[in-house]
Amino acid sequence: MSERCPFCAVDESRVVFRDDLVFAIWDRYPVSDGHLLVITKRHFADWFEASEEEQRALLLALERGRQVILERHAADGFNVGVNVGTAAGQTIPHLHVHLIPRFAGDMPDPTGGVRYVIPSRANYLKSRPSGIDLLQAPSSQSLLVRGADDPLLPHVRACLDRAASADFAVAFILKSGVALVREHLRDLLNKGGRVRIVTGDYLDATDPDALIDLMDLGGNLQLRVFEAGDTSFHPKAYIFYDSDGQGTAFVGSSNLTWPALQGGVEWNYRILRADADRGFAEVAAAFEDLFVHPKTRPVDVDWIDAYRERRGPVSAQRVVEVIEESPEPPPAPHFIQQEALAALKATREAGNEAGLVVLATGLGKTWLAAFDSASEEFLQVLFVAHREEILAQAMQTFRRIRPRARLGLTTPAKRNRRTRTYCSPRSRHWVARIIWASLPASSSITSLWTNSIMQRPVHTAA
């Protein structure tokens, strides 16, 4: 066991299942919904050091993990992967196997699958153009990030992981782009960092649901929009400030979308704060000017609602660089959840005002809470958990079921009075005091969910 290994000291609440040799957890930085890690209990580096018994246990756990995932998500396929060594991308020297659900349409062309570890060689069925190879990967020292073999996404993630603050200025944002950096942004915010993002409504290309996803992160995230009107709006810059006074900026062609960060040929020039030229300072000053520009205003739920109403579908003829993303449909309850939902409905119809649901780990209690409270009957929902990590996951679950709900996180230091779905730590009585103190006098809490308890309605606040 290594004291510094995150897999040797996993919080038991994160464990989906375990046996004598291996255990499984949900990946903290999921490639897709339901991304599962199967990990050996014994600490050693890679697959080739595992005993036959451990290898057999890993394979059996993958099958078990597949069943758990399919109970929660309607996956159309899976990628199974092991990274061996830093050259292959391994970052934690403790054997773990990735089980990644795949969904039809989750990327424009999935041909090649795991071959995308080297993107330009992934789709061997695609013909290659003759002439100059614009996709040739640059050296690691190059200041120009050109996409393909050298996409911008790993650079952005690495900079976020060591940053004390970050500023993004992008012409438009899609949900696919937010999903790629969400957990890295969350980590920065949880460390007390600041994130400022300016995007635009030019040609209505920005997805309002992507703005909601960013607002759900909470913390010191400041989101603003440049109301373009008749003005074209095309900035693309990512600026990172490190705690040691250094920093990195990327200025080029990548918006906050999957194709721009991961999937296409995009040129972005890297500017280092340590360099003697004025480039970094000029980029930083330009962002400050844009952030306080008279046409730039803060984004809130009211602005998003109004923007959504006037937006309509994005025209591919008007915005040739936008790939319109269809909203991912919410998953259907699996059979155990269906039985629980039917029992809860019958309990209410019988006149009962309280119900108790007990489910084993991995069977989807949070999804059950979201399914059960999705009815228009429940205008306000209180979800209670003892750890903020669970709450962050719960907010994503509720967002899938109620994409336009106003979600908020209330903690001892923060109270949100404008939300329709509440997430909060501490005990049930503590939460009730905070929520009743925070809500208008005319409000009522119509459903209270903990990790195993649902009450309707809440009559008293101790």
Q: Which residues are catalytic?
A: 96
How far apart, in whole angstroms, are the C-alpha atoms of residue 438 and residue 410? 9
The CA angle 256-414-225, to the nearest 5 degrees, is 30
Give 137's DSSP letter: P
Give 117's DSSP letter: G
User: How many C-alpha atoms does 45 have within 13 Å on its Cβ side?
Assistant: 8
Q: In degrees rounded to 5, what are phi and psi of residue 423?
A: -125, 130
What are the angstrom distances between the C-alpha of 197 and each of 4, 7, 178? 34, 33, 12
CB atoms within 10 A of CB 204: 21
Please give the structure tokens belonging to residue 228.
């373009």
The residue count of the chain comes to 462
Contacts of 411 (CB under 8 A, 6+ apart): 388, 424, 425
Contacts of 216 (CB under 8 A, 6+ apart): 395, 396, 399, 407
Please give the structure tokens belonging to residue 154.
């790993």
Residue 157 burial by CB count (10 A; 0-12/13-18/19+): exposed, middle or buried?
Answer: middle
How far apart, in whole angstroms, are the C-alpha atoms of residue 135 and residue 139? 12
Q: In degrees rounded to 5, what are phi and psi of residue 448?
A: -120, 120
What are the angstrom distances between the C-alpha of 76 and each of 28, 80, 333, 443? 22, 14, 16, 42
DSSP-derived pairing of the beta strands 421-424 and 381-384: parallel
Contacts of 32 (CB under 8 A, 6+ apart): 100, 101, 102, 103, 106
Q: Which of 256, 255, 254, 252 is nearest to 268 (CA)?
A: 252
CB 172 within 8 A of CB 325: no
Burial code (b: 16+ CB inside 10 Å, e: under 16) for 184-198 equals: bbbebbeeebbbbbb
What are the angstrom distances between the C-alpha of 135 and each of 118, 122, 280? 12, 13, 27
Q: In degrees rounded to 5, what are phi and psi of residue 205?
A: -75, -35
